[in-house]
Amino acid sequence: MSNAGAANDLNQMAANAFRHLSTGQPEQARPMIDALLRAAPMDRTVRSLAAQLAVISFPVAAQRVPTMIEQTATIAQENIDLVVFHVDLPVAPSGIHEAIDYQAVLRLAFTAAALKAPKAQRIILTDETTQFAADIGAHQIIRRPMDLNRIMYERLRLQIAYLQERPAGRASVLMDTDVVTNRDPCDVFRRHFDIGLTWRQGFPDAPFNGGMIFVGPGTRGTDFLIEARGCYDRLAATAAVTAHFSRDIKAWWGDQFALAAVTGYREFGQRKTDGLIVNDTTVAFLPCDDFNVTLEPNVNYSPDVLRQKYFVHFKGNRKGMLAKYVALLQSGQI
């Protein structure tokens, strides 16, 4: 077989393995990934597939029943919290993002929130030392001690603590600093769910974005996140998983693995409905394209299209686009 033919075969095998992982079938992907590791053990794509296999193979027992998410009575805007987690760090924890003035980003995000959801409460979860300007736009700042070396784990921990203390009857949007409120969030909570996860394609081991989670009233959404935290602990203590990562997964990415593992990789990957009941929690699957959209530079989006998006997420190095976008919101062009 020619080298070109062998390479094509390996590429096709990698594509097939990725497809099986995306549908929650690690047992189908494993023989292919093992063969790829023998043929090209240092290849970046192969190593990524092996890491995805380790995560998706991690067992989490739960009762999972398909369900359709129904419409329900809306929640008044004054009963909704927009909850942002932020702490000042010396370097970006991802290791790939540029230096960013997150306080400026947060001020812009809260400017948009005040415009589109003026009656919602704007809350910051943070550590004991990060300082915020008086005009940051928050109604409340909640401070707790935390381990800054495990920032994603700590974000989940602080979110759970906030949810356990919030008054009854409130709904919550747990969001990243760089998320713009683009529509009235009341419309999201017309759907009957305990927790709403925003999903995207292309990440078999992390289909849900941890930077945008909707939690309905009551305690079941909190219970789901508590279970995810326990799963996170187990993942981070499992050598067969952590061996594939160069850093502590409690610092980056691991929360998204835990959300998916508790939800069920297979059940989500092969879903026929827009929700699951996981144990007693109703989990809604909300597409990022509508509820947590990421805009790409140099793409022209029509105002009519943009007005349909509930939240706009300026991930990574896209944050330079945020000020212009908020100005368009303020001028009524979006």
* pLDDT, tens digit, 9 for 90 and up, residues 228-284: 999 999 999 999 999 999 999 999 999 999 999 999 999 999 999 999 999 999 999
Q: What is the mean pLDDT of residues 171-177?
A: 97
- Tell me which residue of 128, 155, 158 sits closest to 143, measured CA to CA: 128
What does the alpha-carbon distance between residue 325 and residue 314 come to, in Å, rounded to a whole number?
A: 10
CB within 8 Å of 110: residues ≥ 6 apart: 84, 122, 136, 137, 138
Whole-angstrom Cα distance, residue 98 to residue 252? 16
- The neighbouring-strand residues paired with 282 are 277
- 93 — pLDDT class (breaks 50, 70, 90): low
pLDDT band at 1 (very low <50, low <70, confident <90, very high): very low
Q: What is the pLDDT of residues 104-137, one digit of tens each?
A: 999 999 999 999 999 999 999 999 999 999 999 9
| Number of alpha carbons in the 13 Å side-chain half-sphere of residue 179 | 26
Is residue 79 predicted with pLDDT exceeding 60?
Answer: yes
**What angle, 0 to 180 degrees and rounded to 10, lies between the N-to-C axes of helices 220-236 and 254-263?**
120
Torsion of CA 98, 102, 108, 114, to 10 degrees: 140
Please compute the mean of the pLDDT values over residues 96-111 and round it to a whole number. Answer: 85
With a cut of 60, say whether residue 2 has pLDDT above it.
no
d(Cα 63, Cα 179) in Å, to the nearest integer?
33
pLDDT of 100: 85
Q: What is the mean pLDDT of residues 308-317?
A: 93
How far is it, in rounded angstroms, from Cα 9 to Cα 274?
35
- In tens, the pLDDT along 39-65 reads 999 999 999 999 999 999 999 999 999
Query: What is the predicted pLDDT for the residue at 32?
Result: 98
Q: Region 146-159: what's the mean pLDDT?
A: 97
Cα-only R_g, the chain = 20
The model's confidence at residue 316, banded by pLDDT at 50, 70 and 90, is: confident
Length of the chain: 334
Instruction: Report residue 97's pLDDT band, with 50, 70 and 90 as the boundaries.
Output: low
What's the half-sphere exposure (Cβ side, CA atoms, 13 Å) at 223? 12
In CATH, the architecture of 67-331 is: Alpha-Beta Complex (3.90)
The answer to whether 183 and 309 have CB atoms below 8 angstroms apart is: yes
Evaluate if residue 83 carries a pLDDT over 50.
Answer: yes
Q: Spell out the residues 6+ positions from residue 195 whose beta carbon is closer than 8 angstroms to its own.
A: 213, 214, 215, 216, 220, 221, 224, 225, 281, 282, 283, 284
pLDDT of residue 164 exceeding 50: yes
- The encoded tokens of residue 319 equal 């944050």
CB 190 within 8 A of CB 286: no
Average pLDDT, rounded, for the chain: 95
Give me 224's structure tokens. Answer: 């789901």
pLDDT reported for residue 131: 96
pLDDT above 70 coverage of the chain, percent: 96
Look at residue 94 and tell me whether its pLDDT is greater than 70.
no
